[in-house]
Amino acid sequence: MLLSEFFTVILLLAGAFFFLAGTVGLLRFPDVYTRLHALTKADNVGLGLMVLGLALQAESWAMTGKLILIWLCVLLSSASVAHLIANAARKKGIEPWKQ
């Protein structure tokens, strides 16, 4: 097995782990703010790791560029959407969870 393949597998698995963690957080956390937190942060990292892993296998620089572009787009949109949802929730008067 080539070294690059090995790294790809490791990175993909790590990415998948973050996705899993994000999903568990989405399901288990008590309120909308914490859920958003879990989902966006963990998934962004997960996707980043996956992109990195796939980039190692990419045939050309253009491919790598596209992959990174995808990641940047997702970062941008997930950050904005998280903000929008949180803002809407706050306007609706949903109190952050405290304990």
Partner 1 sequence: MEAMTSLPLMTLMQLLFDTLLGFALLWLGWRALASPDLFQAIVLFIAFGLLMAIVWVRLDAPDVALAEAAIGAGLTGALLLTTLARLEAKNRSKSALEKKHKVWLMTENVKLKTASFLWLMVILMLLVSGLVYAVLTLQEQTFELQMLVSKNLESSGVSNPVTAVLLNFRGYDTLLEMSVLLLALLGVWSFGGIPKPHESLPGPVLNMLSRLLIPLLIIVAGYFLWVGSDAPGGAFQGGSVLGAAGVLLLLVGWRLCIRFVGLPLRIILVFGLGVFVSAAVVLIFLGRQFMEYPPSVAGALILLIEAAATLSIGITLAALFLVGRPEFRRHK
Is there binding between residue 84 and partner 1 (CB under 8 A)?
A: yes
On whether the CB atoms of residues 71 and 34 are closer than 8 A, the answer is no
Is there binding between residue 65 and partner 1 (CB under 8 A)?
A: no
Residue among 1 and 99 whose Cβ is closer to partner 1: 1
Residue among 26 and 98 whose Cβ is closer to partner 1: 26
d(CA 39, CA 47): 12
Is there binding between residue 28 and partner 1 (CB under 8 A)?
A: no
Q: Among candidates 56, 57, 40, 50, which has minimal Cα distance to 17?
A: 50
- Which one of residues 76, 90, 94, 97 is an interface residue with partner 1 (CB under 8 A)? 76
Residue for token pair 């399901």? 27
